[in-house]
Structure 1
Amino acid sequence: MPEGPEIRRAADRIAHVLVDEPIEEVLFAFPDLQRFTPVLSGQRVLEVETRGKALLTHFDNDYAIYSHNQLYGVWKIAKRGKMPATNRSLRLALHTSRHSALLYSASDISVWPRDELGMHTFLATLGPDLLSARLEWQDVSERLQSPRFAGRSLAALYLDQHFLAGSGNYLRSEILFCAGLHPKRRPKDLSRGERGLLARETLKLPKRSYETAGITLPPRLAATLKKKVKGFERRRFFVFGRDGRACYQCGDKIRRDSIGSRRIYWCPTCQPES
């Protein structure tokens, strides 16, 4: 599933071709949404916003399209009239005179009056967005100390969108590695220093991933590996997807486990259990 940085980058691409442009044609694949075609056709897009892994396309008539990529959804941008070659099912299309923003394979799409978005079941319960410019590390530290979250394992907490919106499998593993914390540890058992470091890494890693199109490694290490390692997926992360390989910091072998049916990776030396 795409995580916060990937959804934000998709929103940037969509905004580049849609914002301030009149939407000449709207296509919904789902019959229950087709009644909104005349409502949105001819309107201008004001903003393309992300809230965690959800994407909101805001129109100047005070409506918004909510979409969530879930596991398989993907946005594609194309020149108007030149549809991408794909076997995926088209679920939503927004056409301007020059471009098309196309959502494939997603099933979680709805249309809302903008002033009612707070009533959306998913949006109403989201925690702060990891990539929000207003979110400070002190805010994350406070949430870690909240009775609602402090007694849970970090592995569970960093997948919970009520805690922080936009985190997912790879960010969870990478954040905990960079903070030097074992996935089974709990916020209430952390020292003040550990909690502060975790809060800072919680904001730093998603921002780096957004800026680098999915790389969580620091620039110097990423540049070095690019010369030595073939394949983008093999040189993106500290630990995620690297089970059995040497840790870049200590040389120990990265381990993989399954917690709550989701895979997680860590270094037993850099992230001791206690």
Structure 2
Amino acid sequence: MPEGHSVHRIARQFDRNFVGKTLHASSPQGRFAEGAAVLDGREALSVQAVGKQMFLEAEGDVWLRVHLGLYGAWDFAGEIFLDPTIASANGRMGQTNQRGTDLDEAIYDDAGENSLASIGAPRRARVHVRMSEQTKGLADEGLEWPPPIVGQVRLRLMTDVTAADLRGPTACVLQTPDEVLATIAKLGPDPLVGDPIENEERFVRVVRKKQTPIALLLMDQSVVSGIGNVYRAEMLFRQRLNPHTPGRDVPEDVVRALWRDWVRLIAVGVETGQMMTMDDLSADQYRAAMASRDDRHWVYHRAGLPCRVCGTEIALEEIGARKLYWCPYCQA
């Protein structure tokens, strides 16, 4: 499942490529035909991400809500104009930099994805993007337009030069403004949305009154928005926090540290498109991590391997129907 950084990156690409333009909407699969007919011909006015959900506003008080869930993905084609605040097509980082160095050339990971140019959608096979900073004639590039329909496309949104195909979402619905507000009100704070001070206080208040294990609270989207399995495991390790500790037993300063770490990690994720959770890496170490997804994290996906800090075997268990990775020594 894509985590919060991916959805924010996708929303930013919609802002760059669709907002202010007339939408051409269709449902090749047929399951969203009525909704597509409502969207078709309307101007896209705004877009925002909150946690793992994206909300696209069209004229006439119509909102499209999309939750990708476990299997959903957006496939972009045509001219894709990059948000200047995130990694650009040549792989250069943006204004903030976790690793403290710049690399201009692409770095391909073991799945064949250019790690520094990814827009952060969940699967490489469904992200076919030609990124460019200036519009070029599609006919001159020899591209087929409109792009052919591949697979079960729930919704296709198009402008004159850009297409976005949605497959396999958990939710793809139209909402009124009031329904959007009600949906967002049920979500926990997102570091990239709203007042940063109130977001932190809200997170601390909720966690500190819950008997629920902190590992479950971090995955509860009504407690905090955007955290998934990878960030959950990594954040708990980075605070050396036992995942089974009830929320109300986690010291307040540690709860605040968890929130501030999430603020930092999602910013890095939005910029790079990758869930890089290891710090203080040299340029060579960072390049190696970018080339191998399993080398970007402290504990995630490392069951049975030695802890990078203490050497203890990383444990794997199921909690809340999801896999949890943690170090029984460092997080005792």
- State the TM-score bracket (shorter-chain normalisation): 0.7 to 0.9
TM-score (norm 1): 0.86
Deviations 1:23-47 (A, max 9, x none): 1x21125657433444322221112
1:256 is aligned to 2:316: yes
Deviations 1:10-63 (A, max 9, x none): 11222221011111x211256574334443222211122112111111112221
Deviations 1:192-233 (A, max 9, x none): 332332232232222222222123334532744344468431
Higher alpha-carbon deviation: 226-235 or 65-74: 226-235
Supply the distance in 2 between the matched residues of 1:166 and 1:34 (Cα, whole angstroms). 29
Supply the distance in 2 between the matched residues of 1:133 and 1:38 (Cα, whole angstroms). 32
CA offset at residue 242 of structure 1? 1.4
Partner of 1:22: 22
RMSD: 2.5
SS at match of 2:165: strand
Supply the distance in 2 between the matched residues of 1:68 and 1:22 (Cα, whole angstroms). 23
Say whether the 8 Å CA contact 2:45–2:58 is kept in structure 1.
yes
Say whether the 8 Å CA contact 1:256–1:265 is kept in structure 2.
yes
Identity of counterpart residues, as a percentage?
28
Say whether the 8 Å CA contact 1:11–1:48 is kept in structure 2.
yes
Partner of 1:118: 181
Q: Which amino acid aligns with 1:2?
A: P
TM-score (norm 2): 0.72
CA offset at residue 95 of structure 1? 1.0
Partner of 2:195: 134
Partner of 2:46: 47
Supply the distance in 2 between the matched residues of 1:115 and 1:192 (Cα, whole angstroms). 35
Which stretches in structure 2 are left out of the alignment for 5+ residues? 80-144
The change in CA–CA distance for 1:117 and 1:267 in structure 2 (over 3 A counts) is same
Say whether the 8 Å CA contact 2:74–2:166 is kept in structure 1.
yes
Supply the distance in 2 between the matched residues of 1:41 and 1:134 (Cα, whole angstroms). 34
Partner of 1:203: 263
User: What aligned pairs does 1:173-184 form with structure 2 within 5 A after superposition?
Assistant: 173-184=233-244
User: What aligned pairs does 1:1-274 form with structure 2 within 5 A after superposition?
Assistant: 1-23=1-23, 25-29=24-28, 33-79=32-78, 81-83=145-147, 86=150, 88-120=151-183, 123-132=184-193, 134-136=195-197, 137-145=200-208, 147=209, 150-218=210-278, 220-221=280-281, 223-228=283-288, 231-272=291-332
The change in CA–CA distance for 1:104 and 1:154 in structure 2 (over 3 A counts) is same
Higher relative contact order (CA 8 A, sep 6+): 2
Which stretches in structure 1 are left out of the alignment for 5+ residues? none
